[in-house]
Amino acid sequence: MKLRVGSRESRLAVAQSELVMAEIARAHPDVQLELVTMKTTGDIILDRTLDKIGGKGLFVQELEAALRAGRVDLAVHSCKDLPMDLPEDLPLAAFSRREDPRDALVLPLGTDALDPDRPIGCSSARRRLQLQRLFPGVEVRPVRGNVLTRLRKLDEGEFGALVLAAAGLKRLGLEGRICRLFSPEELLPAAGQGILAVQRRRDLDPALFDCLRDREAALCALAERAFVRELDGGCSAPTAAHAAVSGERIHIAGLYVDGSETMYTANAEGPADQGEALARRLARELKEGRP
């Protein structure tokens, strides 16, 4: 049997797809695996922020088209890049074990302190608003491109710091660039950050992907996505959610930003198997102003 694995062509996306392929190879040594890479619209249009060109769905639509056309059998996505509403004909096969979900501060090579006179580069309204609270008076400026492109811009002096997902840096072997990790209490991560989502052709046997499924990651991803979905959130909406499972309990923290860019945060805890309902309730309460 041969499985063709669809991936964005960035170095990080390839590294993440190779992690998934290694797990499948360990569980199914008889399966032949082939990596198929492609550029997505989100990779091509780099002169505008994502909210101006259609949101994070731009990172997955070409991969989904390849699945429908039979050019690939499964696709590997960063869970945080998935649109909140997914097509029924392309089900999710698995959520992987979560890597570090936190955001990280990265400084230019050779420096050990943030220069407040130079901007911090980040890629989302979620980060921008929280960073403005953490570093009042420091400019926060959009930055696009893959991780290596952003690091080059940083080291060439365009920015005084970057904020990137720790998971991506670690998967690229660049954890040495991390100068500070922000706790979720300081900077709430994007829903699904650190989790890989595997999407499959509908006619494939779901049991093939049992080796990739992680219960805690699935509980967290589904709860976080339920929170954002309840707020009609996506790339352009500065919402955030982070869940953590302990035994049979789940703790959810959520961020809601209203039209005046006032931030509201709240937490909830309950049975792990009720995480999605808990997250939806927390989102409604935040939106109604009564956490």
Burial tier of 233 (Cβ tally within 10 Å: 0-12, 13-18, 19+): buried
Contact (CB, 8 A) for 163 and 103: yes
Out of 43, 73, 81, 100, the active site residue is: 81
Say whether 81 is catalytic. Answer: yes
**Residue 237: left if φ>0, alpha if ψ -120 to 50, beta else—which one?**
beta
Share in percent of the chain as helix, strand, coil (round to 5): 35, 25, 40
Buried b (16+ CB within 10 A) or exposed e, 190-203: bbbbbbbbbbbbee
**DSSP label at 254?**
E
Report the C-alpha gap between 76 and 283 in whole angstroms.
28
Place of tokens 């199914």: 28
**DSSP label at 96?**
P
Neighbours of 108 (CB within 10 A): 21
Active site residues: 81
